[in-house]
């Protein structure tokens, strides 16, 4: 992950000069849930991304205003708002990347799984529309619980006959962003130089940061490893509690979502060695049909899924512990995806 520096450089490039479209392919990005807490700053960041030539901002409400506002920014992406079911098809048509942060966020005391009832149906409907109107697009699912919403999406796509596992991703980038920040803070190193793999899923103990593989390598005591792991796993809850009923992570999530979408676009454009951690259909852990691990992104989506590498004893125990919960979230998603 090249991170913040790259993104700010892109923003600068986009705002300071008129971008030549002859060198980069035209790319359309659609954000579904674009008027929400994540959707708005994510729309802003995608508007600043030089690889985006068309930006479709879709929500059930509020997008005319958000789109009018964002569209005045002097960067390349032509930006248009779409509101309501009848405009969903038009928003999706021709999209290369579809980012889905639609749904409800957590309140204090809620787990991500508590969101299942509402968000599962929202994701189902939006993915069905994506299959119909933009069957080849890369889908970036942000809506929680990601551990279940991605298997739901896979089932919907299978029913529509358009499922390509290489093109469906659960966005877990925020876990990586947090792990990098917390590790750099704890060890007093420059966060811009830090890489931390985070594997597993995207909820509580299913989030497994691999600090033993972090670079630059720093020795961690057992207590430090426990504390950093716990903070990464509960980073979302930290924000939910601090916001005290006003939602969950939005700004850091928009940043993370923009990083992941940027990686998808660079992969589509044929840039070599674009790698991110994300939640995909996988055989990395035989018991789990979906798992987040390092993925190489290319012109066809996920080109290669990497093995976990060597885990510390503590991480091996964490991996063993997450399998039950992640499997039941996957099964719940599959069952819901197949129903009615
Ligand atoms: P929000 O409530 O501020 O925004 C959600 C937006 O979705 C609203 O504008 C709403 O009108 C829209 N929406 C609802 N149903 C829709 C539909 N059928 N079609 C299109 N838009 C629809 O919520 P926020 O904070 O933006 O969070 C969105 C989702 O992202 C939540 O599920 C949250 O749990 C998840 N999330 C995921 C993270 C991750 O790391 N993957 C991190 C943080 C949040």
What string of DSSP letters covers 304-333? EE-------HHHHHHHHHHHHHHHHHHHHH
Q: Among 105, 115, 152, 234, which residue has the most ligand 1 atoms within 8 Å of its CB, making it the best to mutate?
A: 105
Note down the domain range covering 149: 9-172
Distance CA 133, CA 104 (A): 24
Residue closest by Cα to atom 30 of ligand 1:
143
As a whole number of angstroms, the distance between CA 218 and CA 213 comes to 9
The radius of gyration of the chain's CA atoms, rounded to the nearest angstrom, is: 19
Instruction: State residue 313 phi and psi, 5-degree precision.
Output: -60, -40
- Distance from the alpha carbon of residue 106 to the mean position of ligand 1, in angstroms: 10
Q: Is 333 in the pocket of ligand 1 (CB under 6 A)?
A: no
| Residues 70-90: tens digit of each pLDDT | 999 999 999 999 999 999 999
Pocket-testing residue among 33, 114, 144, 250, ligand 1, by greatest number of atoms within 8 A of Cβ: 33
Mark whether 202 is an active-site residue.
Answer: yes
Is 91 found in the same domain as 78? yes
Distance (Å) from CA 94 to ligand 1 centroid: 23
Do the Cβ atoms of 184 and 158 come closer than 8 Å? no
Residues of the chain predicted below pLDDT 70: 1-22
Model confidence over 107-148: pLDDT tens digits? 899 998 899 999 999 999 999 999 999 999 999 999 999 999
End-to-end alpha-carbon separation of the chain, Å? 39
In a domain, 1, yes or no: no
**pTM given for the model:** 0.95
Domain end, chosen from 172, 197, 229, is at 172
Say if CB 237 and CB 271 are below 8 A apart: no
248 lines ligand 1 (CB under 6 A): yes
Distance 256 CA to ligand 1 centre (A): 14
Contacts of residue 304, Cβ cutoff 8 Å, sequence gap at least 6? 295, 296
**Residue ending a domain, choose from 139, 172, 205:** 172
Question: Does residue 59 sit in the same domain as residue 78?
Answer: yes
Question: How many domains would you assign to the chain?
Answer: 2
ipTM more than 0.90? yes
Q: Where is the domain boundary, 172, 190, 225?
A: 172
């Amino acid at each position: 992950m090249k991170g913040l520096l790259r993104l700010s450089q892109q923003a600068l490039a986009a705002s300071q000069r008129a971008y030549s479209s002859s060198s980069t392919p035209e790319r359309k990005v659609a954000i579904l849930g674009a008027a929400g807490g994540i959707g708005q700053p994510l729309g802003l960041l995608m508007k600043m991304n030089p690889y985006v030539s068309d930006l479709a901002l879709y929500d059930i409400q509020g997008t005319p205003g958000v789109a009018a506002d964002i569209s005045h920014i002097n960067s390349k992406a032509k930006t248009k708002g779409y509101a309501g079911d009848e405009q969903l098809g038009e928003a999706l048509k021709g999209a290369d990347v579809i980012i889905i942060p639609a749904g409800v966020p957590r309140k204090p005391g809620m787990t991500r799984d508590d969101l299942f009832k509402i968000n599962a149906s929202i994701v189902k409907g939006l993915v069905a529309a994506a299959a119909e109107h933009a069957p080849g697009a890369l889908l970036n699912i942000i809506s929680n619980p990601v551990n279940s919403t991605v298997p739901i999406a896979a089932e919907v796509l299978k029913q529509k006959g358009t499922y390509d596992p290489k093109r469906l991703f659960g966005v877990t980038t925020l876990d990586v962003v947090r792990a990098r920040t917390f590790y750099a803070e704890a060890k007093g190193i420059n966060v811009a130089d830090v890489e931390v793999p985070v594997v597993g899923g995207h909820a509580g103990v299913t989030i497994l940061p691999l600090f033993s593989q972090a670079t630059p390598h720093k020795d961690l005591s057992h207590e430090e490893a426990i504390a950093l792991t716990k903070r990464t796993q509960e980073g979302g809850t930290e924000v939910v509690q601090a916001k005290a009923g006003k939602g969950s992570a939005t700004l850091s999530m928009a940043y993370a979502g923009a990083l992941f979408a940027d990686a998808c676009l660079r992969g589509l454009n044929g840039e070599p060695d674009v790698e991110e951690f994300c939640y995909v259909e996988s055989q990395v852990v035989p018991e789990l049909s979906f798992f987040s691990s390092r993925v190489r992104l290319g012109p066809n989506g996920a080109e290669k899924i990497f093995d976990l590498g060597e885990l510390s004893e503590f991480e091996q125990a964490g991996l063993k512990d997450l399998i039950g919960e992640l499997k039941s979230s996957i099964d719940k998603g599959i069952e819901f995806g197949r129903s009615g």
